[in-house]
Amino acid sequence: EVATPNLDRLGLEGAIFDAAITPLPETAPSHASMLTGRHPAEHKLVQNGRRLSLAELTVTEQLGLAGWRTGAFVSSFALDSSAGLDQGFEVYDDDFFPAVRGIGEFRAGWLGLRLLLRFGDPADWPSLLERRGDATVARALAWVDTLPEGAPMFLWVHLFDPHSPYAPHDGGPNVDHPAILADEPGHHYTEAEASGLRRQYAAEVAYTDVQVGVLLDGLRARGRLHEAAVLALADHGESLGEHDIPFTHHGVYEQVLQIPMLLWGSRQGWAPGTRSAAPVVVLDVANTLLDYAGVPKLTNTDSLPVQVPL
């Protein structure tokens, strides 16, 4: 029960998909399916740390061929360019290092950090694993400002805050989630830890909604929403203790496979607030965006089941 007014507005003005799922509840595989329209069993990126084949065609490449400007701004090391999801993007911003006391401003420091993350254990350096949503949104909007007025744009903004580990945002007691994860598997959660982590997760969701609002308001102020489609979704769900899976996204239960999915369009062909109970999956994302852009589809897979005028 978290207030998410900005995401709510997308759904109330657009369409809500109540039966949306991911085929695999892991960050890189799910995003690879969004960008290719193909199941992980087909594109072969089946776990974090693997790389998408250059032979795979992405929605980004298809839009680039049609003259669209393409930019991605990601917030998790799981989506580092080494995963191969950068193919087709003219800008793929996965540089979290400037937040580390300016060391990323020096070429030697930047290379050293890359080597550390590539050959060391990234879990030993949590400050290098993710970027806060406000920083990612700010960099995305700064890139938009560099584009010529009227240039067609595909912008992917990835926010990672409501993802294990959960950080406190509300000033309440802090449960040290990274320390608990270091003690897994087998950590026995006290009731105080469990309730605290649920509160921190809720605060992460609320914080992310604020960043969605900053992004949408920024795009609106730049005249970038008057002929746009906005698709907001998650790559996987999260278990908050159900099925004895505490505060992560393992298993194949509804809690981790079902995802939120909202589609808003300035030229949408459906009534505002439409709710669809039809089963949809993250594979439908690529062709939905290409339909809206009037660009040939990648595969024979479906688009989302709403009428999108070309």
Nearest of 198, 209, 268 to residue 234 by alpha carbon? 209
Distance CA 14, CA 8 (A): 10
The whole-number average pLDDT for the span 53-73 is 96
The pLDDT value given to residue 153? 97
Here the tokens at position 261 are: 């999915």
Question: Per-residue pLDDT averaged across 48-71, rounded?
Answer: 95
* pLDDT mean across residues, the chain: 87
State the pLDDT confidence band at 167, using cuts at 50, 70 and 90: confident
Radius of gyration from C-alpha coordinates of the chain: 19
For the chain, report the end-to-end CA distance as a whole number of angstroms: 37
| Residue 185, preceding peptide bond in cis (omega within 30° of 0) | yes
Q: What is the pTM of this model?
A: 0.88
* 302, pLDDT greater than 80: no
Supply the pLDDT for residue 310. 34
Q: What's the pLDDT at 207?
A: 96
185 burial level (CB within 10 Å; 0-12, 13-18, 19+): exposed
User: Is 217 a residue whose pLDDT tops 80?
Assistant: yes
pLDDT at 251 over 70: yes
Give the pLDDT mean for 169-176.
78
Confidence of residue 306 (pLDDT cuts 50, 70, 90): low
Predicted pLDDT of residue 97: 58
Q: What is the pLDDT of residue 124?
A: 54
pLDDT at residue 112, rounded to an integer: 55
Mean pLDDT for the stretch of residues 277-304: 87
At residue 100, the pLDDT reads: 46
- Structure-block tokens of residue 268: 């949408």
Q: Give the chain's largest Cα–Cα span.
A: 55
| Cα 31 to Cα 40: distance, rounded to the nearest angstrom | 10
Residue 274, Cβ density class (10 Å: 0-12 exposed, 13-18 middle, ≥19 buried): middle
**Each residue's pLDDT tens digit, 90-137:** 999 998 755 443 344 344 544 555 555 455 554 455 555 789 999 999
